């Protein structure tokens, strides 16, 4: 899942590395809190989108 906009765009415009790192740390915590252990948050910055994408975790071996 690609998030279509950045929830922190005004701050990310000033310091994208810092803001994206914070967002990337926040989203996995959100997923844990929601009880969504099968989703993984990945840092994947692209212009015009949020820097974090969500995808299914690969199956455990």
What is residue 34's predicted lDDT score, i.e. its pLDDT?
Answer: 93
- Residue-wise pLDDT for 12-57, tens only, equals 889 989 999 998 999 999 999 999 999 999 999 888 888 899 999 8
What is residue 56's predicted lDDT score, i.e. its pLDDT?
Answer: 93
Radius of gyration of the chain (CA): 12
Strand, coil or helix: 44: coil
Sorting pLDDT into bands at 50, 70 and 90, what band is 5?
confident
What is residue 61's predicted lDDT score, i.e. its pLDDT?
Answer: 58
What is residue 6's predicted lDDT score, i.e. its pLDDT?
Answer: 81
Q: How much is the pTM?
A: 0.76
The answer to whether the Cα torsion of 3, 32, 17, 55 is positive or negative is: negative
């Amino acid at each position: 899942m690609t998030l279509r906009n950045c929830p922190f765009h005004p701050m990310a415009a000033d310091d994208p590395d810092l803001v994206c790192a914070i967002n990337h740390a926040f989203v996995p915590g959100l997923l844990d809190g929601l009880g969504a252990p099968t989703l993984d948050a990945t840092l994947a910055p692209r212009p015009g989108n949020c820097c974090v994408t969500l995808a299914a975790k690969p199956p455990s071996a």
